[in-house]
Amino acid sequence: MRSFFVFFCVLLLSALTVKGQQLERKSLLVEDLKILSSDEMEGRKTGTTGSQKAADYIISRYETIGLKPLSGGGYTFPFTFYNKFLRSNFDGVNILGFIEGSQYKDKFIVVSAHYDHMGANGVEIYNGADDNASGVAAMLEIANFFNINPPLYSILFAAFDAEEMGLQGAKSFIYEGPLSKDQIVLNINLDMVSRGGEHNVLYTAGTHQYAFLKPIVKRVASSFDFKLKFGHDRPKDKGAENWVFASDHGYFHKKGIPFLYFGVEDHPDYHKPTDTFEKIDIKFYQEVVSFLAAVAEEMDRNLGKDQ
């Protein structure tokens, strides 16, 4: 009887520890989003002081989580691009860190989210809580997950800059970055994932182009309490916007790299100063991020099996 009691106590303590870790991570997820969308970040426009503050925060989180830098130069990968509308050169910074895979060390799943937004106009700040502090905070939580649950593939976490100025960070990564096309097996891109609207809807795009991904996503989605819709990736769909090149995953697709994009429909606060932390649907967001971590895990475990 005594041995059973001890065994029961160990199981209970283990369960409480796991539950405590989950609650702590959920709290940290919300805190990351709140900080990244705060006035202190000044709207995170590429090349500004606010952007540098956001980059510094993301780097500090990479270090806390324990992500490895891809090179001796650290997590940052600067790039320069020309904006033809503003007729000027801009300097951007991608922030890259990874967890090494146990079986496929030289093959990478890239989990990405852009951290830049639209800055401030001297009167109002475009905080970009949903767009895209939500995606960056979700990416950090997925990094936390894989730090606890080591992956088979190496997982690269990419906070891209200058998405709002034409997907420039992703473009630089694909054409000038540290990984070759053959090293990247999948891109999971997160952009606006915290506001599902009245019907709690999240979209995924990419399964029309890469159909072997769909069964895996559907299996995972069946266990979660929100509506996942497939679409926005079929050119001939009437009345539906095509999101294949709407965010950073577009440059992966241009190179023939399979992608999954997750995001919500545009809402009234899209690209407005009213896209603030207070508008986030916390319950929906936490459920979605748990789902995204589960999708990333299933992709890591099952890539190739359903092709």
What does the alpha-carbon distance between residue 192 and residue 214 come to, in Å, rounded to a whole number?
21
Coil vs helix vs strand at 254: helix
Q: Answer whether residue 16 shows pLDDT above 80.
A: no
Question: What was the pLDDT predicted at 28?
Answer: 85
Question: What was the pLDDT predicted at 118?
Answer: 98
Question: What was the pLDDT predicted at 3?
Answer: 54
The percentage of residues in the chain with a pLDDT greater than 90, rounded to a whole number, is 84
pLDDT-based confidence at residue 20 (cuts at 50, 70, 90): very low
Residue 175 within any structural domain of the chain: yes
What does the alpha-carbon distance between residue 80 and residue 50 come to, in Å, rounded to a whole number?
18
The residue whose two tokens read 């796991």 is 18
Residue 63 within any structural domain of the chain: yes
| Cβ neighbourhood burial of 272 (10 Å; 0-12, 13-18, 19+) | middle
More confident site: 15 or 90: 90
Per-residue model confidence as pLDDT tens digits over 205-235: 999 999 999 999 999 999 999 999 999 998 8
More confident site: 86 or 15: 86
Residue 237 within any structural domain of the chain: yes
- Tell me the HSE value of 121 on the side-chain side, using a 13 A CA sphere: 7
Query: Could you tell me the CATH number of the domain that includes residue 138?
Result: 3.40.630.10
Question: What was the pLDDT predicted at 92?
Answer: 98
Mean pLDDT estimate for the chain: 91
Residue 34 within any structural domain of the chain: yes
Question: What was the pLDDT predicted at 235?
Answer: 82
- Tell me the HSE value of 126 on the side-chain side, using a 13 A CA sphere: 18
Instruction: Please state the rounded mean pLDDT for residues 163-182.
Output: 97
pLDDT-based confidence at residue 265 (cuts at 50, 70, 90): very high
Prior bond of 132 cis (ω within 30°): yes
Q: Answer whether residue 241 shows pLDDT above 70.
A: yes
Q: Are 190 and 137 in contact (CB under 8 A)?
A: no
Residue 307 within any structural domain of the chain: no
The percentage of residues in the chain with a pLDDT greater than 70, rounded to a whole number, is 89
Q: Answer whether residue 307 shows pLDDT above 90.
A: no
Per-residue model confidence as pLDDT tens digits over 29-88: 999 999 999 999 999 999 999 999 999 999 999 999 999 999 888 999 999 999 888 889
What does the alpha-carbon distance between residue 192 and residue 205 come to, in Å, rounded to a whole number?
13
What does the alpha-carbon distance between residue 186 and residue 111 come to, in Å, rounded to a whole number?
8
pLDDT-based confidence at residue 27 (cuts at 50, 70, 90): confident
Question: What was the pLDDT predicted at 238?
Answer: 64
Residue 221 within any structural domain of the chain: yes
Q: Answer whether residue 13 shows pLDDT above 50.
A: no
Domains identified in the chain, total number:
1
The bridge status of strand 184-190 relative to strand 227-230 is unpaired
Element (H, E) at 176: helix 168-176
Residue-range definition of the domain harbouring residue 141: 2-302
R_g (Cα) of the chain, nearest Å? 19
Residue 208 within any structural domain of the chain: yes
